Amino acid sequence: AELLSWLDERFAINDVEMTEVATVASVARIASGHISKRQISDTFIVPQQWFENLTRRPVPSVTEAVSIQEAFLKVAERMGDFVAVADERSGVLSWKRTKLAVLLLANEFRKVPQTHIGVLLPASVGASLVIMAVLFSGKIPVMLNWTAGRRNVEHAIKTCKLAQIISSEAFLDLIDIDLEYIEDKLLLVEKVKANIGLFSKLKALSLASKKTQKILSRLNLDKVKQEDHAVVLFTSGSEADPKGVPLSHRNILSNVDGGFSHFHFDVKDVMYGFLPPFHSFGLTVCCFLPLTTGLRVVYHPNPNESRKLAAGCEKWGITIMAGTPTFLRGILRAGEKEQFKSLRILVAGAEKAPDSLFELVTSMTNDAQLVEGYGITECSPVVCGNRPYQPHAGIGYPLKNVEMMIVHHETFEPLPEGERGLILIRGDNVFSGYLGNVKSPFVEVNGKQWYNSGDLGFVKKGAFHIAGRLKRFVKIGGEMLSLTAVEEALSNEWPGTIEEGPVLAVTSLEKEDGSRPELYLFAKKEIELEKANAVLVKAGFPNLVKISRVHLLNEIPLLGSGKTDIQALNRLVKEAG
Q: What is the pLDDT of residues 334-345, one digit of tens each?
A: 999 999 999 999
Phi, psi angles (nearest 5°) of residue 7: -60, -35
555: Cβ–Cβ under 8 A, 6 or more apart, which residues? 12, 501, 524
Position 545 scores a pLDDT of 83
Span 525-529, average pLDDT: 90
For the residues of 216-254, what is the DSSP string, one character each?
HHHTT-TT--TTSEEEEEE---SSSS--EEEEEHHHHHH
Position 331 scores a pLDDT of 95
Position 183 scores a pLDDT of 93
Taking each helix axis as running N to C, give the angle between helix 68-79 and helix 95-109, from 0 to 180 degrees, rounded to the nearest 10: 150
Distance CA 189, CA 458 (A): 47
Q: What pTM did the predictor assign?
A: 0.82
Distance CA 548, CA 11 (A): 30
For the chain, how many residues are written? 577
Distance CA 357, CA 348 (A): 10
pLDDT at 20 > cutoff 60: no
Query: Hey, what CATH topology would domain 59-364 get?
Result: Rossmann fold (3.40.50)
Cβ(506)–Cβ(486) under 8 Å?
A: yes
pLDDT at 189 > cutoff 70: yes
Phi, psi angles (nearest 5°) of residue 273: -105, 105
pLDDT at 5 > cutoff 90: no
156: Cβ–Cβ under 8 A, 6 or more apart, which residues? 118, 142, 144, 145, 162, 234, 242, 244
Position 3 scores a pLDDT of 44
- State the alpha helices, DSSP H only, in 12-67: 24-31
For the residues of 244-296, what is the DSSP string, one character each?
EEEEEHHHHHHHHHHHHHHH---TT-EEEE-S-TTSHHHHIIIIIHHHHH--E
pLDDT at 98 > cutoff 80: yes
Cβ(565)–Cβ(559) under 8 Å?
A: yes
For 307-321, what is each residue's pLDDT tens digit?
999 999 999 999 999
Among the listed ranges 133-137, 329-333, 457-461, 491-495, which one has the minimum average pLDDT value?
491-495
For the residues of 507-518, what is the DSSP string, one character each?
EEE--TT-PPPE
Among the listed ranges 28-37, 87-96, 379-388, 538-547, which one has the minimum average pLDDT value?
28-37
Q: Angle CA(372)–CA(378)–CA(381) in degrees, nearest 5?
A: 30
Q: What number of other Cβ atoms are within 10 A of residue 203's Cβ?
A: 14
Position 498 scores a pLDDT of 58
Among the listed ranges 275-279, 288-292, 387-391, 494-498, which one has the minimum average pLDDT value?
494-498
Span 259-272, average pLDDT: 93
Q: Percent of the chain scored above 90 by pLDDT?
A: 65
Cβ(140)–Cβ(156) under 8 Å?
A: no
For the residues of 316-375, what is the DSSP string, one character each?
HT--EEEE-HHHHHHHHHHS-GGGGTT--EEEE-SS---HHHHHHHHHHSSS-EEEEEEE
Domain ranges for the chain, please list them.
2-31, 59-364, 477-576
Q: Give CATH superfamily name and number for 477-576.
A: ANL, C-terminal domain (3.30.300.30)
The pLDDT mean for the chain works out to 88
Cβ(49)–Cβ(92) under 8 Å?
A: yes
Distances (CA, A) of 356 to 110, 307, 328, 333, 353: 49, 20, 12, 12, 8
Position 576 scores a pLDDT of 73
pLDDT at 407 > cutoff 80: yes
pLDDT at 50 > cutoff 80: yes
**Which span out of 225-239, 240-254, 280-294 was modeled with the highest average pLDDT?**
280-294
